[in-house]
Structure formats: structure tokens, C-alpha cells
Chains A and B, each alone.
Chain A
Amino acid sequence: MTAGKFRDRIRTSIQDEALQAALDGNAERRVQGSKAAFASLPDHQPRRQRAHAIRNEVIEHLDEYLERFIKQVKNNGMIVHRAEDAAVAINIFLEIARSHNAKLVAKSKSMVSEEINFNHALEAAGLTPVETDLGEYIVQLRGERPSHIITPAVHLRRHEVGALFHEKLGIPYTEDIPILTNTARKVLREIFLTADIGMSGVNFGVAETGTLCIVTNEGNGRMVTTVPPVHVALMGMERLVPNLDDLALFLSLLPRSATAQKLSVYTNLIHGPRRGNDPEGPRERHLILLDNGRSQLRNSPLKEALLCIRCGACLNACPVFREIGGHGYVGVDGSPAPYPGPIGSVLSPGLFGSLEFGHLAQASSLCGACREACPVDIDLPGLLLRVRAGVAINSNNKDGVGVPAPLKTGLQIFRKVADKPRLFGLLQRSAGLGSRLISLRSNWMHLPDFSGWGFSKDLPRPALKPFRNRWVDLEHEEPGKIERKKLPPVKIETIPTKLIDLEDQFMDELKALGGECHPCKPSELTERILALLQARGIGKVMVDKKAGETLSGSNLELVHQPDPTCRGGVTRVAAGLADTGSLLVTAGEGELLSASLLAEVHIAILNRSDLHASLPDVLNTKIVRQAASAVIISGPSRTADIEMTLTIGVHGPGELIVLLVDDSAPAMIK
């Protein structure tokens, strides 16, 4: 087996200056950002261990968790399909599309769909899949695959996106990221509104409640699961957590690891299709559970790779990813590996075989930065070593997968020598002498490039007298007497508990996210809303039932249905979360999710008595469990898909204003 195409790819990637600049930016910003985000989670190491244990439990008993999950999802009114491989999954989807006479498919980001080459298959069947995550849309326009699990266009600089949009979308060339983002927003808004099917991935499935959890920042995940008449979710069958309390734990880890956020802007919790008198939501929801090699991976020594929650942190931390980017990881035939980075170098051979992808595992110095960054503590260096040892499928039961033949021979000879101490010593001394012939004066030898080592560094001459020979004549000192004192164990810093004013915390957090919060008295509420809308020249707003009551009698045109022509949306929200500045909204009769999604400006009314400390306080509650879908909103919609430059306002509202109604005494918590 040769990995010549991989080596070529490495060389061209290293020489690509624009790529190198993009990857350096990614490594530096992401690693720093994630560190800062975890600073707000002082117990993050114990959480990480708990997360590992929970995922391990799920993978150990996957059949039971799947059975419970599927039963619940069906009870919730969704249609469940199981697909053993890519072809079956695609056929299931095409069957659904045919039954609805569907042509246009709006997609939010899904690595599983990349894994099965979904877009290509749909196009071949005459359908039009459109990626709606900004980064994913960019790579689709370029005819590329994503180069990162989280930020698909991380390999590109703004000038490349500018040129692409000029060419494909006909706008004047610009490097202005907000203009580029807004262009994509306009184009994709049409797609959301006219798509026949909305297609999404799934971040977590919750076994106990049948919840599908999908997190996005731009709002496209909400759009494709809310606006089109049919929603199809595609999910790797291993992505389960036992219950909603566990989900809260994972939601404290995933966004921090992925994008350095306490929570993603939109955390969607989906339970089923539109019910009875709901004003919105798809009439039909499907879930396709994909195996595609996972069962067999689960029965292999690479099982631990199934714990992965696809946060991309190992990519950002990896010094090799930093050099070659996601497109650098290619199979023996030069085609891109299904998953990039350290986890990809385990998953790709683990799912699709060593012959094709085993060599990727050799491209690691085993430095362990990936494991350190992993929020579920997957032993990635250990798994890479196992891939190298030939445990993945199609390795022909041979070890040393991906080792070039000369190196293999060298190591075999070395073993034969090192097995025999006397021979080893003899050869050491001969090498010492021999090296003096290569390099007469210097202690360092300049070996040719093809030796590998000689490519960028000199090699020391072996000593004329190795240590084993020096030991014999070594002068020993009398044992010294140095004072000994054992060190105390490392102290783990604890953060002193202090009283936190929920209201202050909520306001600070929301502000940090780019939202606004205004405390107000119940009697002022209507007047404040009218002033906010008037200042923005908005006369027509989407409202839910309760907000409609608050605003009845005003001059505003109130709309109780999804209406993309409304620039404003006003809703009463069910709860606020102080430590993340988040809001909880739910679907249902009298509710209107679209008001917080389709509008440019979302004004939320939150009662102070509905403020809670943090996510675990609201996640496992009746209001969430019983809603066909619920969303936790953390700030205005955002993206950082172009050069990791934060841009506010993508598919969801660009402005989020919370009116915090003073209906009770301030709450303090420890």
C-alpha cells in the first residue's frame, strides 16, 4: 500500500500560503477561545470524565438505548427508518421525496450526509439539495467538501469567498464579510421559504424522551426544521445520550469545545411534527438512523471512537491539521477522507477500511494535544496506534499499517539487533566509527533528504563510546545527603461561592452575546415595545397569542401566522437562563416560533419570575418535554464561517431585545 497521493497533498498544502494563513488563524483563535470558554466551567475536568462515562455506557449498551429511543421518537409522532449503509439511507430519502413530489431540499449542516455523499446522490436523482450553513454553502458553490467538521470553509480567505460570490451569485466583488453574509442570507431565505423538504443532521438523540437536539448559530438549523412542510433528520446511530439531564451536561461541553460558546445561539429540541392547531412546523418528520459501519466499528478495538460528539476540537488542537487542513486527509486514491483530523484518522479507516485510509493514522506525532482537547476524553493517540497496528477492517491482518517499506525493513533489522545485547553494543560502536567517515569534523551529520530525517535537520554522530561502555569506568560519588521534603499535592482551585443576582447575570450575558435587555415595569411594557418598533420603522409584526394581547389596541398590524414579510416579531418567552443569557421558546397552540426566527428584530418579553439559574433548570421540564419543538435562544443569530470573523445576523434575527418585566422580587442564588 502506498500513500503517495497523501504525501503529495501534504507538500502542496504546506506550500499554499493562503491555506497556511487560514489554518494558523484557526489554530490560534480556536484554541485560545475554547480555553476562555472553559474558564467559566471550573469543574470541567470532572464533567469531561462524566461525559466519557455516559457515552461509554451508551455505546456499551447501544442496542437497548436505540430501542428505547426509537420507541419514544415513534411515540412522539415521527417516522423512523433504519439504514444499514449509505445506499439504503439515500433510497429512503428519495422515497420520501418521491411521495411528496419534492425537488428542492434545504439542508443544514450534517457530517453524516457528507459521509454518505448525500448531495451527489440527490443531484443524480434529479433533486436540488442546497446547503444553508454559510460555510457549507460556500464549499458547495465551490464544488468542494467541507474542510472542517464545524467550520467547513476554514481553508478559505475572504478574497476567495468574494471572488466566488462575484462569479456564482453575480454581486460586485467585495471582501466585506457582512456584505457577503447578507448576500447569502438573501439567497438562502428564498430556499427556506420554497423548499419542499428540510433536511438536518442531529447532534444528540435523547433515549428517554426521543428528543432530537440540533445546535446551530446561524439559524439555518431552525429554518429547515420549522419552515418546509417535511423535515428529514439524518443521524449516526451512535449519537445518543440517556436523558435530558445528561443532555444538559453535553450541551455545557459541545459549544465550548466547538465554537468557544457557552451555548450555541439556537439549541433546538424537537419532539414531533406540527400538532392540532399549531400555526407552523412541518406536517411530517422523519428520522433516518444510519449504521454504515458503526456496528462493526463497535465490535472492534476502535470502539472508543464512537464516543465522539463531532465538536472539531481535536482538529483545532492538532499540529498536523494546522499544516494540511481538512482537505489534506486523502485516501490512497487521492479522494478526500470522510472525516478529517485526528478523529477522522481513526473513523475513516475504522468505518471504511485500512487499505483506503489506514495511512492517515501515521500522520501524527502522537503528541496528545487532540486527547487533551477532547470534551469526552477519547484516547485518540491510543486509537491511532491501534489503527497503525492493523486492527481496522481491510488491514489484511497485518500490523504496521501505512509504514513505508524501507522504514519497516529498518525496524525489523533494528529488532533483530536490539534483541541481542552484545550485537547491539557492537553495532553501536561500529556506527560511532562509521559516522566519523560521513562527517569528519562536526558531531552532526547532514543526511540526504530522502532519509526523511535529513530533510530539515542534522543527525548527531553516534558516540564513539556509548554509555554502556562508559559505565564500566564511571567514577562514582559517595551518596550525598540532601534534605528531602515531599511536596503537598497540587491544590485544585475552587471558586468561592458568592451570591449572584440572576437579573444582573442575565443582562450581562445577553449583552456579551450582542443582545439587549431592558428591565421594565408591567405597566410600561406596551409603550416600550411600541417605541422600540417605531424607532425601527416597523409597523407589522408577528406575535404569539400573549404578545398579541399585550399589543392589542395599538396601531400595529399583528400577524399570528408565519409571515416572512414582517420585519419584527414579538413573543412572550417561557423562561430565561441567567448564566448563558438565554431564552426558552416553544411551539404549540398560541405560540409562534417564526416570530423569533423569520423576523429581523425579535423582541422578547420575559417575566423576572421566569428567570432560572442555568440550562439544567429548564431542560428536563414538562414544558420542554411536551412541546413538539422547543428552542433555547442565546443571542442574535451569528456566524464566523468566513475567516472566523464574527458576523451578527444571518438567517435568524440580527437584533434580539429582551424586556425583563418586573413582576416579582429579585432572586438571588448561591
Chain B
Amino acid sequence: MPETVQLMITCLVDTFFPEVGEAMVKVLERAGVQVEFPSEQTCCGQPAFNAGLRSEARPLAEHTIRVFEATGGYIIIPSGSCAVMLRQGYLELFADDPPWLERANRLANRSFEFTEYLVDHLGITDLGASWSGKLTYHASCHLLRGLGVDRQPRLLLSRVQGAEVVELPHVEECCGFGGVFSVEHPELSAEMLKRKISNLESTQAPTLVVCDSGCLMNIQGGLKRMKRAQKVVHIAEVLAHQENNR
């Protein structure tokens, strides 16, 4: 019996980058996992939580908990940031409410970020993916410092046939997204993004790989505005890619 997992798609992937979700399903299925998608899910509530609007975040967190409580198996998330919200944010949000805290804890214990699940839980690093050309990897803040996930995506990328992975200078520096931060403080966000893009340019890689669609949207949005040709892709898209299967 293959293991069944629940896909938590995240509102950004759902709305803006559905192809990332498709790639993720492909990769998980190739890894021998059966994927289910609870269709009542919407948003985990992180935008409101990060803005400090806990009264607005709470109904969405409760909704998310209810939706996934009705399902079984691990919850797999294509975003370090949303995984941090489920694993840490909810515990803070419900700290003063023991019954909900208990439910949040159960949810937290079922949650995995996508690459973390593949490498740490399944023990898979080679998904038979191939890619021609140079790739460089950006370490998303919440993934790296919130979850401590770094070697997992790097290992997965190192096993991609044909890909030349080069190190991004100052890889751990924030790209300036920060959710509501990028809207509230556009000037600061812009400066941080400029630095990220100039580091990306120094690698001469045409493709930047990220594990979070927030960073994807931010960096790609900046590249578009600056009329640059580089592409930002989610790691699921790289892992789903097979050069000979075009």
C-alpha cells in the first residue's frame, strides 16, 4: 500500500503558480506516494498573522485545522514559510487556548515541507529528474532559519542529471519578500531585491531554484520589471522535469 499524503497547496501556488502544484503531484507520485487534495482548503492565515492581525488570522487557522483534521496522513507543503506557520505560528496563535492548541499541535506534527518530506521522511534524493544547464539555489529564510532545511533541497538538486549547480553568493540573505513587508515597505523590499538579483547575475545561471513561491513571485517580479531574462522556478518543477520526456 503506498503511503497517502495530503497536499496543502498554499494560496499563492493555487492562485498564481498552479503548474508548481502539478509538478509536485508528479514528483510525489513518482516517489511512490498517493496524493490527496482536500478541496476546502484556502489560506493558512499567515499574511494576517505576520501583519499582527491575529484576530483575522485565527479564523483562517481554525478553518485550515478543520479541513486537514478530516483527512489522514502527512500534510505536504510546497513552502517553507507556510510550513513554519503551521508548525510554529499556530502554536503561538493558540497559545492561550488549550483545546485549539492541542489540535494545532496535532496538525504541526503531521506537517512537512516538500523537500524535507522527500529527503528526511522518504529517504529519496534521486527522483530521476534531468535538466540541461546551470542552476543556482536561493535559500528561503523561513525554510533555512525557521525549519533548518538546507541540505535537503541541495541534495535533491545535486542528483538532477545534467544540471550544473552553482552557489549563489550571499545565498542566505533575504530577497525582500517578507509577505506584507513587501507591500508596506516597498523601498526597503526593493533594495533587498536588487542585491539578490545582482548576486544572481554574478552566477550567470539562467535559472534560480527556490522552495517557496513567495520568493519566486518576488524575485521573478523584480526580474520582469528589470527586463531580465533569468527564470525563477520552484524546486518541484526541476524535480518533475525529465529532458528526454519532452
Interface string of A464-503 (1 = CB under 8 A from B): 0111101100101111111111110010000000000000
Q: How far is the CA of A519 from the CA of B11 in the complex (A)?
A: 70
Total count of chain A residues near the partner, CB < 8 A: 78
- Asked whether any CB of chain A lies closer than 8 Å to the CB of B14, the reply is yes
A385 contacts B49, C-beta separation under 8 Å: yes
Q: A141 in the interface, Cβ–Cβ < 8 Å?
A: no
Residue of B nearest to A3 (CB): B184
Cβ of A564 within 8 Å of any chain B Cβ, yes or no, is: no
Stretch of A130-138, A198-206, A417-425, A526-534 with 4 or more beta carbons under 8 angstroms from chain B: A417-425
Taking the closest CB of chain B, its distance from the CB of A651, in whole angstroms, is 37
A411 at the interface (CB under 8 A from B): yes
- Fill in one digit per residue for B2-33: 1 if any A CB lies within 8 Å of its CB, else 0: 10000001010111111001100110011111
CA distance A451 to B119 in the complex (A): 39
B55 located at the interface, meaning its Cβ lies under 8 Å from any Cβ of chain A in the complex? yes
Q: Is B166 an interface residue (CB 8 A)?
A: no
| Docked pose: A407 CA to B56 CA in angstroms | 12
Is A539 in the interface zone, CB < 8 Å from B? no
Smallest beta-carbon distance B200→chain A, Å: 14
Known: A419-B63, A463-B16, A467-B13. A367 touches B174 (CB 8 A): yes
Kindly identify which residue among A403, A412, A444, A483 contacts B184, using a CB–CB cutoff of 8 Å. Answer: A403
A37 on the interface (CB 8 Å rule)?
Answer: no
B4 to chain A, nearest CB (A): 10
Q: Taking the complex as formed, is B50 at the interface, i.e. its CB lies under 8 A from any CB of chain A?
A: yes
Known: A368-B146, A471-B37. A421 touches B42 (CB 8 A): yes
Check if A173 is an interface residue, CB within 8 A of chain B: no
Complex: how many Å from CA A490 to CA B192? 31
Check: A249 CB closer than 8 A to any chain B CB. Answer: no
Cβ 8 A contact of A482, one of B30, B42, B63, B173: B30
Interface residues of A in 63-87 (CB under 8 A from B): none
| Stretch of A102-110, A209-217, A278-286, A453-461 with 4 or more beta carbons under 8 angstroms from chain B | A453-461
By beta carbon, the residue of chain B nearest A489 is B120
- B178 and A466 contact, CB distance less than 8 A: no
Partner-contacting stretch, out of A121-129, A386-394, A540-548, A569-577? A386-394
Interface presence of B171 (CB below 8 A): no
Please indicate which of the listed interface residues A319, A401, A470 has the most CB atoms of chain B within 10 Å of its own CB. A319
Q: Does B201 contact A (CB under 8 A)?
A: no
The answer on a CB contact under 8 Å between B224 and A371 is: no
Question: What residues on A are CB-neighbors of B41 within 8 Å?
Answer: 421
Interface of chain B: mostly helix, strand, loop or mixed: helix
Decide yes or no whether A208 CB sits under 8 A from chain B: no
Q: Is the CB of A399 within 8 A of B15?
A: no
Cβ of A356 under 8 Å from chain B = no
Whether, in the assembled complex, B221 has its beta carbon less than 8 Å from a beta carbon of chain A, the answer is yes
CA distance in complex: A590, B32 (Å): 80
Which of A324, A418, A431 has the most C-beta atoms of chain B within 10 angstroms of its own C-beta? A418
Q: Please indicate the chain A residues that have their CB under 8 angstroms from the CB of B33 in the complex.
A: 479
Give Cα A388–Cα B184 distance, bound, in whole angstroms. Answer: 13
In the assembly, what is the distance between CA of A201 and CA of B86, in Å? 43
* Known pairs A431-B15, A482-B128; A457 contacts B191 (CB<8 A): no
B106 on interface, CB distance cutoff 8 Å: no
- Minimum Cβ distance to chain A for residue B114 (Å): 14
Q: Which of A367, A442, A479 makes the CB contact (< 8 A) with B32?
A: A479
With a cutoff of 8 Å between Cβ atoms, the chain B residues found around residue A459 in the complex are 217, 221
A452 & B182 in contact (Cβ 8 Å cutoff): yes
B34 touches A453 (CB 8 A): no
A460 pairs with B25, CB closer than 8 A = no
Residue of A nearest to B43 (CB): A418
Q: Could you tell me the distance between the alpha carbons of A661 and B178 in the complex, rounded to whole angstroms?
A: 59
Q: Of the 9-residue stretches A159-167, A254-262, A357-365, A630-638, which lies at the interface with chain B? A: A357-365
Q: Considering the complex, give the chain B residue whose CB is closest to the CB of A446.
A: B225
Q: Contacts of A11 on B, CB cut-off 8 Å? A: 187
For the complex, give the distance between the alpha carbons of A10 and B181 in Å: 14
Nearest 4 Cβ contacts at the A-B interface: A388-B52, A365-B178, A457-B221, A456-B190
Besides the contacts A480-B31, A481-B32, A484-B124, what 11 more A-B pairs have beta carbons closer than 8 Å?
A: A368-B146, A369-B173, A369-B174, A385-B49, A411-B56, A412-B56, A428-B14, A444-B221, A457-B190, A468-B37, A482-B30
Interface residues of B (CB under 8 A from A): 2, 9, 11, 13-18, 21-22, 25-26, 29-35, 37, 39-43, 45, 47-57, 59-60, 63, 92, 119-120, 122-128, 141-142, 144-146, 151, 155, 172-174, 176-195, 217-218, 220-222, 224-225
